[in-house]
Amino acid sequence: MKYLLTGGAGFIGSHFCEFLMKNGHRVVVIDNFNDYYSPRIKKQNVKGFQNNPQVELIAGDILDTELLDRIFEQHEFDAIVHLAARAGVRPSLSQPMLYERVNIQGTMELLERAKIYNTPKFVMASSSSVYGNNKKVPFSEDDPVDNPISPYAATKKACELVGYTYHHLYEMNITCLRFFTVYGPRQRPDMAIHKFTKLIAKGEPIPVYGDGTTRRDYTFITDIVNGIAKSVENCDGYHIYNLGESRTIELHALIALIEESYGKKAIIDRQPMQPGDVNCTYADISKARNQIGYNPTVDIRDGIPQFVDWFKTNQTH
């Protein structure tokens, strides 16, 4: 198959590109290498495939309509996996218009071309953040998600709605994946596990927002990659799936696990809860299990040591 993969130099995208490459697929990767975090990290991420003949790596933006037109004119894609986005809850509070442009308009630019060029399958990244402070746990795809509490979450919900519209109007096959806090080697440096590990390594205080009892459903990168692959295989009609581990861990227990794996104690700096943060994320993955065969296998007690091992080898990056 031939894939268009957006955001392929990022954490999840680079792992998925390597998966596609190893399984004999051809991939056109587009990534703008923006400075949300160091472009040097993204350049390191793509080293595993940038010179592979199966992969064409394009440094460009999904808002560049002329570039998108050229790409779609030159290639006939079997599937689009759309992972490019402005990420992060807190930065979206200070740059809401940027998030709206990249996440919503960027998605619509791709959907429009998928429509024009009759791309059979379109899989896009959504987020567990769409659930907001959902009182019912675990979170099910059938739960109401009409109360996002950050601009980032609102853009992801909007993308799901736009995806449904294109499916309804043009009978396109579209799947939206609600990722639950993905971690593992190459995790973005702004995310908690990476940030905490780095601060512990440097002997600097960890900012802990709230009393340490907030809970997250952390999902290891290999499980997410397998979930994306299963979603492409089964992309037929319009679907939304949770991709999580369906287990939660409290923040203070997560920090203790990193301490144990790194072999060094953390210095805790307690801070108030931040606007846009949610108290708990917890995925009901029964729909993804039953419909696409998603089956996460990496427990966080195994995943954190793997991340810490990677960090110790790559912490200069």
Question: What positions carry a catalytic annotation?
Answer: 152
Q: Are 241 and 174 in contact (CB under 8 A)?
A: no
Q: Who contacts 181 (Cβ-Cβ below 8 Å, separation ≥6)?
A: 128, 191, 192, 216, 217, 218, 219, 244, 281
Phi, psi of 119 (to 5 degrees): -70, 125
- Token pair, residue 244, equals 């999580």
d(CA 244, CA 238): 20
Kindly report the number of other CB atoms within 10 A of residue 274's CB atom.
13
- H/E stretch holding 30 reads strand 26-31
Q: Are 90 and 276 in contact (CB under 8 A)?
A: yes
Sign of CA dihedral 299, 305, 307, 310: negative
- Token pair, residue 220, equals 């290891």
Amino acid at 14: S
Q: Are 292 and 231 in contact (CB under 8 A)?
A: yes
Q: Residue 209's beta-bridge partner residues? A: 271
Is residue 31 classed as helix, strand or coil in its secondary structure? strand
